[in-house]
């Protein structure tokens, strides 16, 4: 009889299963492959990377490097396997995807405490469970999850997010359209010439390749800014770049076109490019959106992405321990929980497993510290947010250091040290709670 059921042997599910087994917990790991597969999965092994083989930066002075440092401190099994299977990729951690999947699969199968059940899960079950079926969760479970949590979102049509301090504020202004409401939007005006240059660059920019199963659904459900632009030279000026009702205080006139930015979080240190969901390659997003004067030196906390993506409405569904608000023995981890990205999925699988260990030890799970990337991400996805979209690791999620440190690398080092210090205290505290 298993103590815990983990559904889905992907990045989150394998991390969770191996963590639980390491602490003596019997796990039933339910995985549909090879009897059934999503349209993006093609291999039989666990932890299949469906797209890029990059797990992003290794540099500890980047947001993804910091996330990895935290996972390393927590003894992540999946990250260790990735590091063992790495291939040269500069400062990025890229893996030989086949070897990576084989390595994790072997470790899961070798664990005497993990029993793998090969089936398409059709229900959530009653016992302690971690749902980790990913962005392409197969039915009928998908329907059961939607029933429990109210609804599921099916598409990622995300606009990029930039850091507030990288926006050229001398070329932007706060205002609400027609003065209705507070000055919630940061407006980035363009002259006619700037708009023409931007428009030409946008419609000719390189797009990321869409997988065949994504094409039909994505273009019916929502429209990338580059697709809208291709419909006509002024389509954006009547859409997300409409200038009406906005007077630029620098000129005293209405601009030819305006991109609006909206605060992404309560601290106001991240801004979303409103209506600019896009499928352009990341380098093209930086180049093309950089033609907008206020964004010339913008730092991207998250690039726009488009793909099919099943995720719960995390703010209403889970708490900062990835635990269902409706059922205290149910956890949701991985991309379906509202985090975005491979390493973020591993991190949420690790967190969910640690919280399950606390529960099994008779303690109330405690969220990871807010000044760690893992804790900040968990807080972000579970915090109230009417326009919730999945989120990846980035510095904008973290509380600032007490004193503002101007030098970027000194600041980042201070954030990293603060995080690892908090995490060590947390590990000491919770390790007494395990069985
Ligand atoms: C098309 C696409 C491309 C992506 N590209 C990237 C990228 O390049 N970089 C990046 O960082 N992130 C990317 N992501 C986002 C995300 O990081 C990955 O999807 C990641 O694999 C998520 O990890 P996970 O553990 O949540 O889910 P997965 O790794 O998908 O694991 C879920 C597992 O659950 C199984 N499963 C599903 N339904 C059932 C069921 N009913 N019963 C039993 N088992 C089930 C699946 O077979 C799978 O093995 C992409 C997502 C998609 C959809």
Segments of the chain assigned to CATH 2.40.30.260 = 161-304
Per-residue CA distances from 304 to 66, 255, 289, 338, 388 (Å): 22, 25, 11, 15, 15
Question: Are the C-beta atoms of residues 77 and 426 closer than 8 Å to each other?
Answer: no
pTM higher than 0.85 for the full model?
no
Distance of CA 329 to the CA centre of its chain: 24
C-beta of 8 in contact with ligand 1 (< 6 A) = yes
C-beta of 345 in contact with ligand 1 (< 6 A) = yes
Between helix 342-360 and helix 408-431 the angle, nearest 10°, is 30
Candidates 2.40.30.260, 3.40.50.10710, 3.40.190.170, 3.30.450.20; correct CATH number of 161-304?
2.40.30.260
Question: Are the C-beta atoms of residues 154 and 309 closer than 8 Å to each other?
Answer: yes
pLDDT at 373 over 80: yes
Which atom of ligand 1 has the smallest separation from the CA of 349?
A: 25
The pLDDT tens digits of the residues spanning 68-80 come to: 999 999 999 999 9
pLDDT at 216 over 50: no
Strand-pair category, 54-57 with 92-95: antiparallel
Report pLDDT for 54.
85
C-beta of 52 in contact with ligand 1 (< 6 A) = yes
Rg (CA), the chain: 22
Compute the distance between CA of residue 279 and CA of residue 282 in angstroms, rounded to an integer: 9
Between helix 342-360 and helix 63-73 the angle, nearest 10°, is 30
Per-residue CA distances from 5 to 109, 190, 331 (Å): 15, 54, 10
Compute the distance between CA of residue 395 and CA of residue 376 in angstroms, rounded to an integer: 9
- Atom 30 of ligand 1, residue of closest alpha carbon: 134
Residue 383 structure tokens: 């915090």
C-beta of 323 in contact with ligand 1 (< 6 A) = no
Question: Are the C-beta atoms of residues 285 and 300 closer than 8 Å to each other?
Answer: yes
The pLDDT tens digits of the residues spanning 82-92 come to: 999 998 877 88
Report pLDDT for 177.
87
Full DSSP string of 138-201: PTTHHHHHHHHHS-EEEEEEPPPEEEGGGS-GGG-EE--GGG-SSS-EEEEEE-HHHHHHHHHH
* 408 Cβ contact list (under 8 Å, min separation 6): none
- The Å distance, Cα 41 to ligand 1 centre, comes to 8
Compute the distance between CA of residue 345 and CA of residue 365 in angstroms, rounded to an integer: 19
- Atom 11 of ligand 1, residue of closest alpha carbon: 341
Compute the distance between CA of residue 278 and CA of residue 364 in angstroms, rounded to an integer: 41
Residue 207 structure tokens: 């797009």
Which atom of ligand 1 has the smallest separation from the CA of 214?
A: 1
Residue 409 structure tokens: 């690398």
Compute the distance between CA of residue 35 and CA of residue 359 in angstroms, rounded to an integer: 33
The pLDDT tens digits of the residues spanning 133-184 come to: 999 999 999 999 999 998 788 766 678 999 999 999 999 999 988 887 777 7
C-beta of 138 in contact with ligand 1 (< 6 A) = yes
* Residues listed for the chain: 435
Residue 380 structure tokens: 């972000």
Compute the distance between CA of residue 259 and CA of residue 183 in angstroms, rounded to an integer: 15
Q: Decide: residue 320, CB within 10 A, 0-12 exposed, 13-18 middle, 19+ buried.
A: buried
* Residue 323: φ, ψ to 5°: -100, 140
Name the band, by pLDDT with cuts 50, 70 and 90, for residue 282. very high
Residue 268 structure tokens: 């106001």
- The Å distance, Cα 275 to ligand 1 centre, comes to 26
Percent of the chain with pLDDT over 90: 77
Eight-class DSSP state of 312: E
* 100 Cβ contact list (under 8 Å, min separation 6): 47, 49, 81, 82, 85
Report pLDDT for 221.
47
Which atom of ligand 1 has the smallest separation from the CA of 33?
A: 47
Strand-pair category, 114-118 with 161-163: unpaired
Segments of the chain assigned to CATH 3.50.50.60 = 4-156+309-431
* 355 Cβ contact list (under 8 Å, min separation 6): 321, 322, 323, 331, 365, 366
- The Å distance, Cα 110 to ligand 1 centre, comes to 23
Query: Topology of domain 4-156+309-431, per CATH?
Result: FAD/NAD(P)-binding domain (3.50.50)
102-116, 298-312, 317-331: least confident range: 298-312
C-beta of 186 in contact with ligand 1 (< 6 A) = no
C-beta of 350 in contact with ligand 1 (< 6 A) = no
Summarize the confidence of residues 94-100 as an average pLDDT. Answer: 90
End-to-end CA distance of the chain: 17
Sheet holding 4-7, edge to edge: 114-118, 27-31, 4-7, 129-131, 330-332
pLDDT at 1 over 70: no
Q: Report the DSSP beta bridge partners of residue 129.
A: 5, 330
């Amino acid at each position: 009889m298993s103590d815990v059921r983990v559904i889905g042997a992907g990045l989150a599910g394998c991390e969770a299963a191996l963590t639980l087994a390491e602490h003596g917990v019997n796990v039933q790991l339910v995985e549909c492959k090879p009897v059934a597969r999503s349209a993006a999965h093609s291999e039989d092994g666990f932890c299949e990377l469906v797209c890029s083989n990059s797990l992003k930066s290794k540099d500890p002075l980047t947001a993804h490097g910091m996330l990895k440092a935290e996972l390393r401190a927590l003894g992540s099994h999946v990250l260790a396997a990735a590091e063992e299977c790495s291939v040269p990729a500069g400062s990025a951690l890229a893996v030989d995807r086949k070897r990576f999947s084989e390595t994790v699969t072997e470790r899961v199968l070798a664990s005497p405490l993990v029993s793998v059940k090969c089936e398409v899960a059709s229900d959530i079950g009653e016992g302690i469970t971690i749902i980790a079926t990913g962005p392409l969760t197969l039915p009928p479970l998908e329907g059961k999850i939607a029933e429990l949590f109210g609804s599921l979102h099916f598409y990622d049509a995300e606009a990029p997010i930039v850091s507030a301090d990288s926006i050229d504020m001398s070329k932007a202004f706060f205002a609400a359209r027609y003065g209705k409401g507070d000055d919630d939007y940061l407006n980035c005006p363009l002259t006619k010439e700037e708009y023409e240059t931007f428009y030409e660059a946008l419609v000719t920019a390189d797009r990321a390749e869409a997988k065949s199963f994504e094409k039909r659904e994505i273009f019916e459900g929502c429209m990338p800014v580059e697709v809208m632009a291709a419909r006509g030279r002024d389509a954006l000026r009547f859409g997300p770049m409409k200038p009406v009702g906005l007077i630029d205080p620098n000129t005293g006139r209405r601009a030819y076109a305006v991109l609006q930015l909206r605060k992404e979080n309560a601290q106001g240190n991240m801004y979303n490019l409103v209506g600019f969901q896009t499928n352009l390659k990341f380098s093209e997003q930086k180049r093309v959106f950089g033609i907008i004067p206020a964004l010339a030196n913008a730092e991207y906390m998250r690039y726009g992405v488009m793909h099919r993506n099943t995720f719960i409405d995390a703010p209403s569904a889970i708490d900062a321990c990835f635990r269902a608000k409706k059922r205290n023995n149910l956890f949701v981890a991985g991309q379906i929980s509202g985090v975005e990205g491979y390493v973020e999925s591993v991190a949420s699988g690790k967190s969910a497993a640690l919280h399950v260990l606390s529960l099994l030890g008779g303690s109330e799970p405690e969220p990871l510290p807010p000044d760690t990337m893992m804790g900040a991400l968990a807080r972000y996805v579970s915090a109230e947010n009417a326009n919730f979209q999945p989120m990846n690791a980035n510095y904008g999620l973290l509380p600032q250091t007490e004193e503002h440190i101007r030098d970027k690398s000194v600041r980042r080092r201070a954030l990293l040290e603060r995080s690892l210090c908090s995490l060590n205290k947390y590990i000491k505290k919770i390790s007494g709670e395990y069985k």
